[in-house]
Amino acid sequence: MQSRPVARLVRLLGDGTPVTTERLIAATALSHRSVTDVLGRLEPWLESGPRGHRLREPAEPWGTTLRGSAREVERRMAELTAAAPRRRRQLDHVAATVETRVRRARYLADHYDLDGATVLCVGDHDLTSLALALLAPRCRVAVVDVDDELLEHVDRSAAQLGAAVACRFADLRLGLPADLAATADLVFTDPPYTPEGVRLFAARGCEALRRDDHSRLLLCYGHGERQPTLGLKVQAVLHALHLLVEEVRPGFNRYEGAQAIGGASALYVTRPVAATWRTVERDPPGGDRIYTHGPMAVEAGERPLPEALARELPDPLPVAELWRLSERHAAARPERRPKLPETAAADLSLAPALAPRLLLAYRGRRLRLALPGAAANALLAAEGWQGRLLGASYRLRLIARDGALAVIEAERRDDAVTGPQLLARQVAEHPAAAAASSLREGLIAAGAARTKNEARAVLAELPNLDARPMDLPLHQLRQLADALPALAGRNVSQSV
């Protein structure tokens, strides 16, 4: 990852002319300690003398393997951008120019050795992941976002490009998908430009980074030249997270709009240290309001439910509290599981995308949710994919409606099920496990496979199952639900 200066040093040593330590330091900007450490590691292949050091044989160059010209990548990115879902103002989406999207990918490829490395985009409405997949095919790319339409576009576009981009859903206010923790070498994010938004996205990005000296968090941020206090507040956030700012590139990002900040923002290259992760663990980010627009804006007022619906939500819990309680319960051993309320309730009227995920995460007896009418209808439609996937574990019914909002109740089923419902219940009742793991057990229980290896071979036909069900984008959950009848209908001879 951070071996570009070392690569320059090795190239100098391989030129055939002896090079002094002083010249190696000047040419690479590495410290004396780092240069002497590299020389020590290369000692078996070095010739050293009064004139300096040189390699006995030239070294093979290394770096990021690139594909395609800048013009070709820009052309493809323009096509992908034109086909992308509409921007969501309530999520502070402002489109970066196509040139900026490619410039980001090029910067990462030029400054880091990405072959075999993992880059996570925390939020990706500018499709930086696809630009990187186009330019650096040997880089592993992942995306986490709260916008299901965007995740579907990234996933399908990556497949068309012959690239593998792992897509995960997450409302970062609740946490990071479990399988992304401590997996990334680089994190790239263009967060909401509020101190609260920057802290949340930066903290979750740090949680995703490997805990070593090579990890880096690259963050975009801009403020108007007449608003230095805003910039100072965000820099204070980075300082509070103990992120070392190694480089700032003013005006690196250009936008189609964003006139309040001059249509541009800076790129911050930051380096976490040991205190960074201690801070994130000790003081995790919280708060619902992180945006500058919409009902979840920092300055937005409360939107209470209509009284008729509020009466149907007994003692509602904050969504983040219920989510984390469900996660702890699912991940703990039976004797250590925290107690779940007999009936839990939550207001998801401003976050309906969480409804199917919370039903997959929760393991209590009964759950009541306030939702927009369309989201409630999607859950209540027995023949719809959400009804087929979740109806195997819950009896879903409408409690009340008021205008465009509704309250539904999901009551845990304990009757026996078979076939596709058995597989669906297996997935829903093991929320801490990857979907693939739950389905393997379900296939064996349903008689569609005799062993885990046979079940694994069956599931090889279905991609994107290596995450917890609630971390999958909606389109992947829909694909899973649609595949269950065929999976359950297989006989053992088909599985061999």
E strands in 109-164: 118-122, 140-145
Mark whether 15 and 81 lie in a shared domain.
no
Does residue 185 sit within a domain?
Answer: yes
CATH number of the domain that residue 379 is part of: 3.40.50.150
Mark whether 259 and 389 lie in a shared domain.
no
Sign of the torsion formed by the C-alpha atoms of 363, 366, 367 and 373: positive
Q: What is the number of other CB atoms lying within 10 angstroms of the CB of residue 307?
A: 8
Mark whether 138 and 250 lie in a shared domain.
yes
Task: Give how far Cα 135 sits from Cα of 102, 108, 132, 353, Å.
Answer: 8, 10, 5, 32
Does residue 267 sit within a domain?
Answer: yes
Q: Which residue range forms the structural domain that includes residue 402? A: 307-331+340-412
Does residue 353 sit within a domain?
Answer: yes
Does residue 294 sit within a domain?
Answer: no
Q: Which pLDDT does position 1 carry in this prediction?
A: 55
Does residue 300 sit within a domain?
Answer: no
Mark whether 112 and 189 lie in a shared domain.
yes
**pLDDT (tens digit per residue) in 448-468:** 787 888 888 888 878 788 999
Mark whether 208 and 323 lie in a shared domain.
no
| pTM attached to this predicted model | 0.92
Q: Which pLDDT does position 447 carry in this prediction?
A: 82
* Number of structural domains in the chain: 4
Of 412, 428, 445, the last residue of a domain is 412
For residue 19, the cross-strand partners are 53
Mark whether 44 and 168 lie in a shared domain.
no
Mark whether 255 and 158 lie in a shared domain.
yes
Mark whether 153 and 76 lie in a shared domain.
yes
d(CA 371, CA 357): 13
Does residue 287 sit within a domain?
Answer: no
**pLDDT (tens digit per residue) in 269-306:** 999 999 999 999 988 877 789 988 888 888 888 889 99
Please give the single-letter amino acid code of residue 8. R
Give the burial class of 259: count Cβ atoms within 10 A of its Cβ; 0-12 exposed, 13-18 middle, 19 or more buried: exposed
Among 141, 174, 181, residue whose Cα is nearest residue 158: 141
Q: Which pLDDT does position 126 carry in this prediction?
A: 95
Mark whether 46 and 111 lie in a shared domain.
no
Does residue 297 sit within a domain?
Answer: no
Mean pLDDT by 10 residues, the chain (496 residues): 80 91 94 94 92 88 80 93 91 92 94 94 97 95 97 96 94 94 97 94 96 95 91 94 96 91 95 95 83 87 91 92 93 91 94 96 95 97 95 96 96 93 93 92 84 83 87 96 88 42
Mark whether 317 and 271 lie in a shared domain.
no
d(CA 491, CA 488): 8
Does residue 298 sit within a domain?
Answer: no
d(CA 146, CA 169): 6
Q: Which pLDDT does position 491 carry in this prediction?
A: 55
Mark whether 385 and 446 lie in a shared domain.
no
Q: Which pLDDT does position 50 carry in this prediction?
A: 92
Mark whether 93 and 239 lie in a shared domain.
yes
Tokens of 404: 């465009």
